[in-house]
Structure 1
């Protein structure tokens, strides 16, 4: 259709005055032959005298609009109009493809294997390929920003020294954790990372202050810690100044720990024996001490050092606490504890001594040895006292259900060997188990597991010829 319109226009040229967009002048309006302007499809044309002329003007305007529309739509695309008026493109999409090549984002050149750009080293926030190591960049002397002083600079991480408040908050958890694991090397590594500065002398004082309120095993660990830290993290002057502060603050420490003077004196004696305090440390205070508590601490240390010359081992001053002691030593201490109780009858003292052993996992041995004493004893006094002690420790939760059960089960397993030395061991064990069940120490299941020895007695005089079975 567009081609036909164009051919018709070429054959019938249109006068420019006929398609003028301007209005009529004033003279023309006054003439005899006055033209009436009308607008057809956006173009101002003069009103013709016949209908055919109007039809021709409309066809001309329609042909011009179609030419303008086709030229603006197909410009730059290489399209052309065929003879039939259909648009023909240079590159058409294949029949099987739903999209044309204009929407295809693949490379037009046919190169590449689909790998990432720059081998994965490109893109935002990427510093290079994985595993790439950058060499030290050489300094360019000709660089306008070059500075000679920067070549000799050494960059280090600066750790600010701790003040008194931060020191206590930081070091206290370290010492408390040391009481649990007992590794002095770990404490030394943690203290090296801190900038103690002038607060290095506060480490022994803080450790000893915490140990005064702790157990004997913790005091032994504290003495070992001070001995291992001296020379690595601390100096001998730091230890001496720390003990000087302890002696000055003894009046305040006595309020929380009444035995603080004796304990501090033992720490001083142990430090002198470990060569972290000079031997003349105590002599330097002679005649210069006005505080009663400080004098008591120094006297205690002097007495202990004199006793070492007579054979006392001051390295075992605090003893070895907890499970670090050998089993044979723990068994001896348990037996000694039970013998002292049988002589005194003081259950509170027996409880305190059992707690000081610091072996809650070994309390089954205490139950075992107590029952053995009952089996080997003569008379009912030992049975009643041991039963009262076990009942007291059971109510105070010092002896747990598991430890009590294990102690009785060990007796059940060894009763055959015990019976060799104690012929009536089975009978005494049955009596003790029944009384323990009545006292609420053991349950019915554990009572029923108690072994008993059966003995068959055959016919004898007075039996009437019948077989008797008695259980003892």
Structure 2
């Protein structure tokens, strides 16, 4: 009996393997062949019970399902199909098709709706709608759970909180410092209008004057102009009076940093009264009520200036305009006066201080140009020596930079032909001055070599036999 079973199992190995690796449907399980029945009851020559056969059958089904899932995920898109008996047939390529055999169909695939395209034909990936489509404002839905009837008539505005005392100086000081550079009062008015100054509005003039006291004379002139332009659009006359009252009270502290603060504040008060941002009775209101010595000096200074203006002396531009604000003709005239005063006095320190007070470091090449032209026109050894000493002193102290010195010399080189019309010996004097400047270290060798020269030798006549004679002056 054992010999017959072994021979029978060896005769059908292929069918056993096929059954272990393929999917067996429920219909084949119910109407299976005799071989399948034998395999269910016998495995490897051993007869199996009904419970063991059912477990083995479940394992075969699970293995077939796992193999089917693995093949379908790995060969998806290759067109795998099943034969009529349930076997997997590979190698047939079937093109994927959309539900209604239409490629790239944008209609709903859920079977709902009227069959129209999504979003009216503009429902592609990453698309918000048709090109050129304008979305209108949606009407308020009163049935919305979040609907609030009190919000329908609300008006939303940007509210700027008022500046407190701690943030006022940090916010306004940069605006005033920047104004000292550009001098545009309209920009300052716009920036202050954007701020909610509140009760700190009257602090703007006092802060501007305090910064101007420590700055240059041109900045004080800009401050007076700023106060005149701010009175009305941004500040009122009441704010101005409160601000100047505070300045008079703070004079003992301001004197510590600026010794001349009482006189300067008095000039600001006189300029404010002249510009009609303070009332004419402002100074009169303090008579008999002043105990501080500095306040008394300031008010006396303002009263004297106003009295002088009534006699015909104008207070306008009492500090003078800044270097960048003055016209070029005025700067040239002041530089000429400075040079003439230096030639008479010989005080190079005073000339240096006056040149610094002009506040035009970008225009110092004009000073060098005017100094050299003065040497060429004077034709004197004394003027040449004094101008050389002055240029050497200004170069060492870096009041005049190397670039400004070079530009001044180059301007003389370019204009020497026109200067020679009025000064016949201009070329000779210029070469002498340039050589002396190089020997004293005022200019370098490159700038010296750029100096133009004119040949001063000529033939006397044809009968002289080509004798060359030096030109005499």
Normalised TM-score (structure 2) = 0.76
| Number of equivalences | 424
Partner of residue 43 from structure 1, selected from 21, 39, 48 = 48
CA deviation string 1:27-61 (max 9, x = no partner)? xxxxxxxxxxx99779338xxxxxxxxxxx99x99
CA contact (8 A) 1:337 1:353 kept: yes
Alpha-carbon distance, 1:134 to partner: 3.9
CA contact (8 A) 1:262 1:300 kept: yes
Alpha-carbon distance, 1:13 to partner: 10
Q: What value does the CA root-mean-square deviation take over the aligned residues?
A: 4.2
1:33-432 equivalent positions in 2, closer than 5 A = 43-44=48-49, 81-82=84-85, 87=87, 94-95=92-93, 101=96, 109-110=101-102, 112=104, 118=119, 132-135=134-137, 137-138=139-140, 140=142, 147-432=148-433
Aligned in 2, Cα 1:145/1:359: closer, same or farther, shift over 3 Å? closer
CA contact (8 A) 2:217 2:319 kept: yes
For residues 354 and 425 of structure 1, what CA distance do their matches in structure 2 show? 27
Normalised TM-score (structure 1) = 0.76
CA contact (8 A) 1:239 1:277 kept: yes
CA contact (8 A) 1:459 1:465 kept: no
Moved more, 184-193 or 167-176: 184-193
For residues 441 and 360 of structure 2, what CA distance do their matches in structure 1 show? 24
CA contact (8 A) 1:261 1:296 kept: yes
Partner of 1:26: none
Alpha-carbon distance, 1:314 to partner: 2.4
Partner of residue 8 from structure 1, selected from 31, 34, 40 = 34
CA contact (8 A) 2:122 2:129 kept: no
Moved more, 224-233 or 203-212: 224-233
For residues 423 and 58 of structure 2, what CA distance do their matches in structure 1 show? 134
Aligned in 2, Cα 1:87/1:319: closer, same or farther, shift over 3 Å? same
Structure showing greater radius of gyration is 1
CA contact (8 A) 1:41 1:61 kept: no
CA deviation string 1:351-395 (max 9, x = no partner)? 121122122221111111111221222532211111111001001
CA contact (8 A) 1:345 1:385 kept: yes
Alpha-carbon distance, 1:448 to partner: 2.4
Unaligned runs of 5+ in 1: 20-37, 46-56
Secondary structure of 1:428's counterpart equals helix
Moved more, 1-10 or 221-230: 1-10
Aligned in 2, Cα 1:410/1:42: closer, same or farther, shift over 3 Å? farther
For residues 67 and 395 of structure 1, what CA distance do their matches in structure 2 show? 104
For residues 301 and 64 of structure 1, what CA distance do their matches in structure 2 show? 114
For residues 139 and 349 of structure 1, what CA distance do their matches in structure 2 show? 82
Partner of 1:441: 442
For residues 434 and 162 of structure 2, what CA distance do their matches in structure 1 show? 65
CA contact (8 A) 2:106 2:123 kept: no
For residues 339 and 421 of structure 1, what CA distance do their matches in structure 2 show? 20
Moved more, 160-169 or 370-379: 370-379
CA contact (8 A) 1:454 1:470 kept: no
Secondary structure of 2:359's counterpart equals coil
Alpha-carbon distance, 1:145 to partner: 6.0
Partner of 2:5: none
Unaligned runs of 5+ in 2: 1-14, 20-27, 70-79, 108-116
For residues 78 and 410 of structure 1, what CA distance do their matches in structure 2 show? 96
Secondary structure of 2:312's counterpart equals coil
CA contact (8 A) 1:212 1:219 kept: yes
CA deviation string 1:214-244 (max 9, x = no partner)? 1222222212211221112211111111111
Aligned in 2, Cα 1:321/1:43: closer, same or farther, shift over 3 Å? same
For residues 374 and 286 of structure 2, what CA distance do their matches in structure 1 show? 52
Partner of 2:467: 467
For residues 62 and 464 of structure 2, what CA distance do their matches in structure 1 show? 143
For residues 129 and 203 of structure 2, what CA distance do their matches in structure 1 show? 48
CA contact (8 A) 1:367 1:404 kept: yes
Partner of 1:53: none
